[in-house]
Amino acid sequence: MSDLINNYKNFLNNGKTERECAKQIIELAEKNGYKDLTSVSSVKPGDKVYIQKMNKAVALFELGTEPLEKGLNVLGAHIDSPRLDIKQNPLYEKDFVVYLNTHYYGGIKKYQWVAMPLALHGVICTKDGKTVNVCLGEDESEPVFVISDILPHLAQKQMKETASDFIPGENLDLIVGSENPVKDSKEKEAAKKNILKLLKEKYGIEEEDFGSAELEVVPAGKSRDLGLDRSLILAYGQDDRSCAFTSAQALFDSKAGKKTLCCLCVDKEEIGSVGATGMASHFFENAVAELVARTENGFSELTVRRCLANCSMLSSDVNAAYDPMNADLFDKNNASFLGGGIVFNKYTGSRGKSGASDANPEFIAALRKVLDENSVKYQMAELGKVDQGGGGTIAYLAAKYGMNVLDAGVSVLSMHAPWEITSRFDIEQAYEAYKAFLTL
Domain at 57, CATH number: 3.40.630.10
Q: Are 49 and 35 in contact (CB under 8 A)?
A: yes
In a domain, 225, yes or no: no
- Of 274, 299, 279, nearest in space to 394 by CA: 279
Give, for all 440 residues of the chain, the pLDDT tens digit: 589 999 999 999 999 999 999 999 999 999 999 999 999 999 999 999 999 999 999 999 999 999 999 999 999 999 999 999 999 999 999 999 999 999 999 999 999 999 999 999 999 999 999 999 999 999 999 999 999 999 999 999 989 999 888 899 999 999 999 987 666 556 788 899 999 999 999 999 999 999 999 999 999 999 999 999 999 999 999 999 999 999 999 999 999 999 999 999 999 999 999 999 999 999 999 999 999 999 999 999 999 999 999 999 999 999 999 999 999 999 999 999 999 999 999 988 777 787 788 999 999 999 999 999 999 999 999 888 787 777 789 999 999 999 999 999 999 999 999 999 999 999 999 999 999 999 99
Domain with 211, as residue range(s), is: 84-219
Last residue of a domain, one of 184, 219, 254: 219
228 in a structural domain: no
Residue 414 sits in the same domain as residue 347: yes
The pLDDT, as a whole number, for residue 164 is 84
CATH code for the domain of 130? 2.30.250.10
Say yes or no: 291 and 431 in one domain.
yes
Q: Is residue 270, in this structure, part of any structural domain at all?
A: yes
- Residues 183, 88 share a domain: yes
H-helix or E-strand containing 345? Answer: strand 342-345
Distances (CA, A) of 113 to 45, 89, 118, 347, 411: 48, 21, 9, 31, 22
Residues 6 or more apart whose Cβ sits within 8 Å of residue 111: 163, 166, 167
Residue 244 lies in a domain: yes
Residues 404 and 265 reside in one and the same domain: yes
Structural domain includes residue 224: no
pTM for the whole thing? 0.96
How many domains does the chain divide into? 2
Q: Contacts from 150-156 at CB under 8 Å and sequence distance 24+?
A: none
* 314, part of any domain: yes
Q: Are residues 75 and 176 in the same domain?
A: no
Of the residues 189, 219, 249, which one is the last residue of a structural domain?
Answer: 219
Same domain, 352 and 252: yes
Q: Which of 187, 219, 251 is the last residue of a domain?
A: 219
Q: Residues 112, 258: one domain?
A: no
Is there a single domain that holds both residue 280 and residue 419? yes
pLDDT for the residue numbered 1: 57
Confirm whether 371 is domain-assigned.
yes
Cα separation, 97 vs 103, in Å, equals: 19
Question: Same structural domain for residues 42 and 138?
Answer: no
Contacts of 307-310 spanning 24+ positions with Cβ under 8 A: 307/68, 307/69, 307/70, 307/71, 307/72, 308/71, 308/401, 308/402, 308/403, 309/71, 309/401, 309/402, 309/403, 310/69, 310/70, 310/71, 310/403
Same domain, 370 and 250: yes
**Contacting residues for 283 by C-beta, under 8 A, at least 6 apart:** 53, 57, 59, 266, 276, 277
Residues 212 and 271 in one domain: no
Whether residues 76 and 90 fall in one domain: no
